[in-house]
Structure 1
Amino acid sequence: MGYQVLARKWRPKNFHQLVGQDHVSRALVNALDTDRLHHAYLFTGTRGVGKTTLARILAKCLNCETGVTSEPCGICSTCEAIDTGRFVDLIEVDAASRTKVEDTRELLDNVQYAPTQGRYKVYLIDEVHMLSTHSFNALLKTLEEPPPHVKFLLATTDPQKLPATVLSRCLQFQLKNMPAERVVEHLRFLLTEEKVSFDEASLRLLGRAADGSMRDALSLTDQAIAFGQGNLVAEQIASMLGVLDHQHLQGLLRALVKHDPAELMAVVATLAEQAPDFASVLQDLASLLHRLTLAQVVPDALPEDQLNREELIQLAASLPAEEVQLYYQLAIEGRRDLPLAPDPRTGLEMTLLRMLAFRPQGIPELPEQPLTPQATDPKLQAPETAETLAHESISSAEIATQPVVQGQPSEPQRAAEPRVSPLTPAVAMQVNEPQAVQNVSALPPRVHQEKLATLENNEDWLQMFDQLNLQGWAGTQVRNLCLLERQGNSLRFAAPAQALAFINDDLKASLLSQLQNLLKEDLQLAFEAQDPLPFDNVSVRREKLRGQLLTATLESFQQHPHIQLLEEVFDAELDAASLVPAAWLEENKLH
């Protein structure tokens, strides 16, 4: 006997062998056990999820020689005939090739006759949506009131094309797509039984390539066994499927982390040599960014057998969460716009360069030299140009003799306003902060810090934080900690319960290592949740300082005579949202 393909050899013979459709098999088993059988069933779903298989299992349950049962014996002549396609009372009809009304009428002419061999005459109509309108009309009456010995089993991948009159006469069961994890689990069992060697990475590649279809998964597995001469190896499977090597994808991601456009284009050039599907490259990149977000937010959600799991966690700690979200959104939009690009490679390159161009830049840096001479007033170091002080030279006579615009309603006239350059954020940052704000107890800028040789209380912790080499996501989480107490070599930290959930074992180990290096002593760290915190953590202390700095800066502007004159003469309003204290800029440069 010749070789039998896996999809046929491993076709389920009963409901217990059916994979991934528990909601349908449960309903059918209960109906068979309680003898509550309908005369017409409709199975819908995408290709390869088990529609025809379910119909054949149901036909065996109805005609098994042991009686109507949810567990057919599988060894009687009826069960064997149905499995091999030789059962005369199971009439399988391909609606795609028999769409004419004459074909349907010929089929229905035999409905009235009793079954030849079995208990029921079962009509299995596959791709039923392909029937013509006249065929549906010819089928309606029989479908609604068939003889008691007749059951209709309909299967379709497109139920929207079925008339409502047909849908209303059937029990409908929507079969689900197979999750990749369920496909991998089934392939693992099947290949073990077939005594075919494999690695987990190859199964994951096949599970994703199946796209929800178990039949596709088995067909691809057949092809993979032949391609690998009886062995399934991830590199060979990736080559067979035309899937991009994950090393290239992580090369793209590493270049994005470094913000290095030259390295990014070099990786794209290497990719282009393999003639990949550039839309798939963006799709795989989006999938990788999704896993990166999981590593940042819910590290435990990453499967233990995930390829390069440790490298993903390291990248997650070095890339801010907002950048990951931006890159993911741009990858999705870039894939959508790829057909509009001059060519696919150009579309990929522009999408990647757009990621770098639009990544969050933070507060812009001040130029090293002032753009214009500084004002002599020590409270406001903004440049005073001829335009900004033009109002000082406007006399009352000039205001009175301004021309009236023709055609406008008569109303009190105001002076024509000279063009005044707005205060930019960079200028606003140059306001000297009042002495009261400078005396606020806060985290001193890193450039003025001396390395602390001790860590006894929370204030020491607040000052020592900037000496820790914790960047990106890791630094964001540690900012939520405050130091409760120190007892000998034991440090007890606290954080809000929601924040403490993100401080995982890797982050705790990194914090312990850096503190021991700074203090030159062996330490033990303990962490607990407290709401609210008894002391300020780094984030809270910085927000307090920023609020006070912003309030003082706003008051300085409001009290300045030039600002007051602008408000009085031109009815101007100070845009408080545009003010950025100089200390904020310094903090952004250092942190």
Structure 2
Amino acid sequence: MSDVDPSLEGPPWDEDAPAGEAEERDPNTEDMFGAPAPAPESAAAAPVETPVAAPKAVKPIAVSEPAPVEGDGEAYTVLARKYRPRTFEDLIGQEAMVRTLTNAFATGRIAHAFMLTGVRGVGKTTTARLLARALNNETDVIDRPSLELTALGRHDAAIMAGQHMDVMEMDAASHTGVNDIRDILESVRYAPVEARYKVYVLDEVHMLSTQAFNALLKTLEEPPPHAKFIFATTEIRKVPVTILSRCQRFDLRRVEPEILVEHLARIADREGMKIEQEALALIARAAEGSVRDGLSLLDQALVQAESGETVKTETVRDMLGLADRTQTIALFEAVMAGRTPEALELFRALYGYGADPVQVTNDLLEHCHAASVAKMLGPNATRLPNDQAQKLAALGAVISAGTLARVWQMLLKALDEVRRAPNPADAVEMAIVRLAYAADLPGPEEALKALRDAEPVGGGSGGAAPRGGGGGGGASAQLAARPVAAPVIPDPQTFEQVVALIGEKREVGLQMDVQRFVRPVAFKPGAITYESVDGAPLDLARRLSSRLKEWTGRTWLIAANGQGGGETMIEVDRRKRAEERAEVEADPFIVAVMEAFPGAKISEIRKLAPAVELPAIPDEADED
């Protein structure tokens, strides 16, 4: 026990301790903080004023500490929450709804109940909270319902945080019973405590039971003036018509890919990260119009690269488990051309790179749809990059609409099989074999006509590999199983005939390359010399020679070392169209029309089919 009586009024390190009561210190012990030992006191020295060493005499702690990390200790906020819209102007892709609400609030014609519907992630819950803020908008200069939202609103912070006592949010998916609705109906009778309106936000309202809907119906018919209801749902068809008829409905649209790409690019720039444009396009495509899904995928993509580095398209493709779009288009071309071995090799290469079989089948469905749409509306209607749109448009141009429709139905069936198969890759390969075999089968009308005329029903080229016969062992089956020599096509006599032959064989990629990059120098059957345009594929000559040998049965010498070639077929087509337009614009009648209607433009020139002269109908007098 120490004989020193400690002070009971505070700790020994209290700064208010008497100056004369300095702490005892063992002179043989170093300071724990590394301070030097105090100098010996002289007899005439003044009494020590403070027992604590001055701050300048204290050395840094010897133990090394880690450097502080930016944002260390703060919970990371995901992009979907960090960039949640704060005002109606921040909502992207919902201009029609914002315009309607703006006019309604400006004129004071505000509905008592709103129904927000749309797919996941388009902003239903966010819009509901913004509506609650707009209904209770109150600032120093605004004291009425208004869509002019600012950060200075009296109730804004509590509403956006879901903590305002007059704005009640309820998840109808977990509160489906009539008792939950009764609690709302009990509280709706009382006036709001702070805000202008009592606002009830019911998310996933379609999950309510029939009894709950019936209990809510009476209040929606005769709501109190101080209450507003905002419903949100992804399944609008499950909401009773009696409820829908008493709400102002807003269908929140899927966000278009190009708009979503711009939005994601802005956010990546704000985050100080770089990501390739094609990678953003892949994310927007995978999001399927959902802004929240797009931001979640962007969040995942931005951590794929170090700070300051650019996130590559290949990295995002691997992250999403997607196949290269150009490779799946090549697979679709091979399938439609009936080249089964090549199609199988292409799929196995994609599968080896990690492509998901279900996603590959989905891509084939998208290519079939894009080719069909481009056939009717042109390449721009596909919303794909220009080179991909042109390839699919060219493919759709040489395939009948009936064939594309049949391929679509077969791919839909294949997608279901791939999802249910024990080995999805095997199911895709079997679907490819089936599709390649049936790619050029005649339609029902053509088959009936061939059977009626006793003609052979063609189709099912199957590519270079021979096809085995089906079941049955009769004489006709044995005759059908005999190998038949492939017909040899006569040699094309002109370069134009070569291009036409490529089109007949549905080699869309090769046809586009020849039309775009080949400037003929010399031509004769069996030999082509051409000048190559910049950007031409390195294997173009080999591919063209291989295909012509396969089709004509003879060797073709294709040389790309010529100089001074003529125009490519695309250049010829453009020149002819320009000459045709110039001729039309110089026509005196057209000139007179353009002068009569200032500002008019010739948008398109079409050649009409010659009129068919119908036989004259004899009069009754002629018959007599």
TM-score for the superposition, normalised by structure 1:
0.60
Aligned partner of 2:89 in structure 1 is 16
Deviation at 1:184, TM superposition (A): 1.6
- Would you say 1:121 and 2:171 are equivalent positions? no
Structure 1 residues 10 and 336, CA, compared in 2 at 3 Å: closer, same or farther?
same
Structure 1 residues 274 and 91, CA, compared in 2 at 3 Å: closer, same or farther?
same
* Greater helix fraction, Structure 1 or Structure 2: 1
Aligned partner of 2:122 in structure 1 is 49
Query: In 2, distance between residues paired with 1:467 and 1:272?
Result: 38
- Would you say 1:354 and 2:404 are equivalent positions? no
Deviation at 1:327, TM superposition (A): 4.9
- Aligned partner of 1:321 among 377, 399, 402: 399
Check whether the contact 2:128–2:201 (CA below 8 A) recurs between aligned residues. Answer: yes
Secondary structure in structure 1 of the residue aligned to 2:246: coil
Question: When the two structures are aligned, how many residues end up with a matched partner?
Answer: 410
Deviation at 1:304, TM superposition (A): 7.8
Check whether the contact 2:172–2:205 (CA below 8 A) recurs between aligned residues. Answer: yes
Query: In 2, distance between residues paired with 1:505 and 1:195?
Result: 40
Check whether the contact 1:177–1:212 (CA below 8 A) recurs between aligned residues. Answer: yes
Question: Structure 2: which amino acid aligns with 1:20?
Answer: G
Secondary structure in structure 2 of the residue aligned to 1:117: coil
Deviation at 1:293, TM superposition (A): 5.9
Is the deviation greater in 71-80 or in 259-268? 259-268
Question: Structure 2: which amino acid aligns with 1:321?
Answer: I
Bigger Rg over Cα: 2
Deviation at 1:324, TM superposition (A): 6.4
Q: Percent identity?
A: 36
- Would you say 1:212 and 2:218 are equivalent positions? no
Deviation at 1:277, TM superposition (A): 3.5
Aligned partner of 2:485 in structure 1 is none
Structure 1 residues 510 and 236, CA, compared in 2 at 3 Å: closer, same or farther?
closer
Query: In 2, distance between residues paired with 1:318 and 1:127?
Result: 42
Secondary structure in structure 2 of the residue aligned to 1:109: helix
Query: In 2, distance between residues paired with 1:314 and 1:78?
Result: 54
Aligned partner of 1:335 in structure 2 is 415
Unaligned runs of 5+ residues in structure 2 are 1-73, 443-475, 477-487, 530-563, 581-604, 611-624
- Aligned partner of 1:286 among 337, 342, 365: 365
Check whether the contact 2:398–2:504 (CA below 8 A) recurs between aligned residues. Answer: no
Please tell me the root mean square deviation across aligned C-alpha atoms, in Å: 3.9
What is the 5 A alignment of 1:137-148? 137-148=214-225
Deviation at 1:170, TM superposition (A): 1.6
Aligned partner of 1:4 in structure 2 is 77
Q: Which has the higher contact order (CA 8 A, sep 6+)?
A: 1
Query: In 2, distance between residues paired with 1:475 and 1:105?
Result: 70
- Would you say 1:26 and 2:99 are equivalent positions? yes
Aligned partner of 1:75 in structure 2 is 152
Query: In 1, distance between residues paired with 2:201 and 2:271?
Result: 31
Structure 1 residues 468 and 344, CA, compared in 2 at 3 Å: closer, same or farther?
closer
Deviation at 1:296, TM superposition (A): 7.2
Query: In 1, distance between residues paired with 2:270 and 2:323?
Result: 30
Check whether the contact 1:516–1:522 (CA below 8 A) recurs between aligned residues. Answer: no
Aligned partner of 2:170 in structure 1 is 93
Aligned partner of 2:343 in structure 1 is 264
Structure 1 residues 103 and 289, CA, compared in 2 at 3 Å: closer, same or farther?
closer
Query: In 2, distance between residues paired with 1:109 and 1:533?
Result: 74
- Would you say 1:224 and 2:312 are equivalent positions? no
TM-score for the superposition, normalised by structure 2:
0.57
Check whether the contact 1:302–1:309 (CA below 8 A) recurs between aligned residues. Answer: no
What is the 5 A alignment of 1:120-519? 120-229=197-306, 231-246=310-325, 248-250=327-329, 252-253=331-332, 255-256=334-335, 259-273=338-352, 276-291=355-370, 298-301=378-381, 305=385, 309=388, 313=391, 316=394, 320-322=398-400, 327-338=407-418, 343-360=423-440, 468-473=498-503, 513-514=519-520
Check whether the contact 1:317–1:474 (CA below 8 A) recurs between aligned residues. Answer: no
Deviation at 1:320, TM superposition (A): 3.7
Secondary structure in structure 1 of the residue aligned to 2:300: helix
Structure 1 residues 360 and 257, CA, compared in 2 at 3 Å: closer, same or farther?
closer
Question: Structure 2: which amino acid aligns with 1:41?
Answer: F
Check whether the contact 2:337–2:439 (CA below 8 A) recurs between aligned residues. Answer: no
Query: In 2, distance between residues paired with 1:172 and 1:318?
Result: 39
Check whether the contact 1:293–1:321 (CA below 8 A) recurs between aligned residues. Answer: no
What is the 5 A alignment of 1:545-560? none
Structure 1 residues 108 and 466, CA, compared in 2 at 3 Å: closer, same or farther?
closer
Q: Deviations over 1:39-81 (max 9, x none)?
A: 1111122221111111111111111111221212232232232
Query: In 1, distance between residues paired with 2:512 and 2:365?
Result: 27
Q: Deviations over 1:290-348 (max 9, x none)?
A: 44567777345566845x649x6399479943476765554334224445767433321
Q: Deviations over 1:198-254 (max 9, x none)?
A: 111111111111122111111121122234445532222222222223364245346
- Aligned partner of 2:135 among 62, 68, 85: 62
Secondary structure in structure 2 of the residue aligned to 1:23: helix
Structure 1 residues 237 and 89, CA, compared in 2 at 3 Å: closer, same or farther?
same
Check whether the contact 1:45–1:177 (CA below 8 A) recurs between aligned residues. Answer: yes
Query: In 1, distance between residues paired with 2:419 and 2:512?
Result: 45
Deviation at 1:356, TM superposition (A): 2.5
What is the 5 A alignment of 1:555-566? none
Check whether the contact 1:289–1:324 (CA below 8 A) recurs between aligned residues. Answer: yes
Secondary structure in structure 2 of the residue aligned to 1:77: coil
Check whether the contact 1:320–1:472 (CA below 8 A) recurs between aligned residues. Answer: no
Unaligned runs of 5+ residues in structure 1 are 363-420, 422-444, 452-463, 477-503, 535-591
Deviation at 1:275, TM superposition (A): 6.1
Deviation at 1:27, TM superposition (A): 1.4
Secondary structure in structure 2 of the residue aligned to 1:526: helix
Structure 1 residues 260 and 168, CA, compared in 2 at 3 Å: closer, same or farther?
closer
Structure 1 residues 277 and 446, CA, compared in 2 at 3 Å: closer, same or farther?
closer
Query: In 2, distance between residues paired with 1:49 and 1:352?
Result: 36
Query: In 2, distance between residues paired with 1:186 and 1:125?
Result: 28
Query: In 1, distance between residues paired with 2:396 and 2:206?
Result: 53
